[in-house]
Structure 1
């Protein structure tokens, strides 16, 4: 069985969605759907690894400013598509420490901010357009793998993964486990990053509040995704109606998606 975590040296949270079973007994194909963090720092070794798969589509869910600041390093085998979920990064994954510190002075601000972000990810027009176009590209990629990513590979990417796996018929429990896997595979990186940040700041209660808020921003929480699911259920009844009524995926398209990505 292939490894779920890809062997990428200069990137974080590169994972394969292959191997997940669906409710009808089929399985998601390996090396077809790759959810990842930023491709901006990939070197030649990593690009060669992705080209050998081969990755043929790179779907970038980041905002325009993020793309301009740190553009993707695109495998030579892939076509690049920019599909911004937000016009600007609302997840704070790309914002400076100074920008975030101004917003994160109150206890719980990080957690509350992410609840708002997830609610908006399933309701705003730019997200609807991005996710619909994402499915269009998945349907038009008969050969090779698709990478879809944001900056940290956890929020916009996590929502995209939820929608893709839901469309393929993967059980909700499996999808939630995949979502939370981000915390496991990025644990060392996040711990080192937060420890270094705290060491550079004065030891005050305000510092502790800021660090706790940054921890909430840098990780995933089941409450975040369930907030999005709740918004979907409130407006459309369930995710299948969201896919068919809001994203306008036809039954034929859903069948085609499953035929291509399941075995």
Structure 2
């Protein structure tokens, strides 16, 4: 079997998984367990930290905004380099970071699917976000050991970052979509809690639909990223080389890190 998403049963870190038996679409093997994705590390337990050490994690890349990092800082380890590379997956949740503020916004606005698609694509289009993606790719390529990528829930920003990396490595997109959608299973309990919180705040059915669109991993969102990569940037590798400015040498360093 090839291309396996392996769930990591951490106690204080949500939506954590790594990859095993990765291959490219033409069957070339890639190194396993070099890339780990998760939600924030603010509640990582000592056992979680030990598990990350056992996975040889030497670099943690935090994709959250500075305000999120300050409000819920990662657990630090002297053996790990922590690198901030902030991204914003959509303008709505970036601006309305508390539930009361988000619910107040949703009471008078609709269009969450479109907001999410635009937000995903803006991660590739906005100069500040391109700079963060370039920083992320360089950090992944230069890490002496495994790399952990995370945002808040490990869904949108982590989903786009991992999709970009896996696609550039030549992993089949069908697998990338399946891996991305696993977040919906991992976050099912959290999604139910959000629905209950909105119900308690007397949210309408329309608001529930908008909240669900903001909170789920939706294949349409990631498809919009791949469409943009293919039509404007000559694919993931072209985006890394030209738009992110890593040139052929930077792309080669990334590919070499994961070469089987």
TM-score, normalised relative to structure 2:
0.89
Please state whether the residue corresponding to 1:233 is helix, strand or coil: helix
Alpha-carbon deviation of 1:145? 1.1
Alpha-carbon deviation of 1:207? 2.2
Alpha-carbon deviation of 1:108? 4.5
Alignment-derived partner of residue 242 in structure 2: 245
Structure 1, gaps ≥5 residues long:
none
After superposition, the C-alpha distances for 1:175-217 in whole angstroms (9 at most, x for unaligned) are: 11211121122223322x1343144233xxx522222211111
CA distance in 2, matches of 1:13, 1:5: 8
2:219 aligned residue (218, 222, 235): 222
Alpha-carbon deviation of 1:122? 0.8
CA contact (8 A) 1:60 1:81 kept: yes
Alignment-derived partner of residue 189 in structure 2: 188
Alpha-carbon deviation of 1:218? 1.2
Structure 2, gaps ≥5 residues long:
none
CA distance in 2, matches of 1:197, 1:172: 35
Q: Given the alignment of the two structures, is residue 127 of structure 1 paired with residue 129 of structure 2, yes or no? A: yes
1:102 aligned residue (101, 104, 120): 104
Please state whether the residue corresponding to 1:4 is helix, strand or coil: strand
Alignment-derived partner of residue 201 in structure 1: 201
Alpha-carbon RMSD across the aligned residues, in angstroms, is 2.3
After superposition, the C-alpha distances for 1:134-165 in whole angstroms (9 at most, x for unaligned) are: 111122113x2111111111111111011111
CA distance in 2, matches of 1:210, 1:195: 10
Q: Given the alignment of the two structures, is residue 59 of structure 1 paired with residue 61 of structure 2, yes or no? A: yes
Q: Given the alignment of the two structures, is residue 174 of structure 1 paired with residue 171 of structure 2, yes or no? A: no
CA contact (8 A) 1:62 1:89 kept: no
CA contact (8 A) 1:91 1:155 kept: no
Alignment of 1:1-263 (within 5 A): 4-86=6-88, 90=91, 92=93, 95-105=97-107, 108-142=110-144, 144-191=145-192, 193-202=193-202, 206-263=203-260
Q: Which runs of 4+ in 1 moved over 4 A?
A: none
CA 1:3–1:84: 2 relative to 1, 3 Å: closer
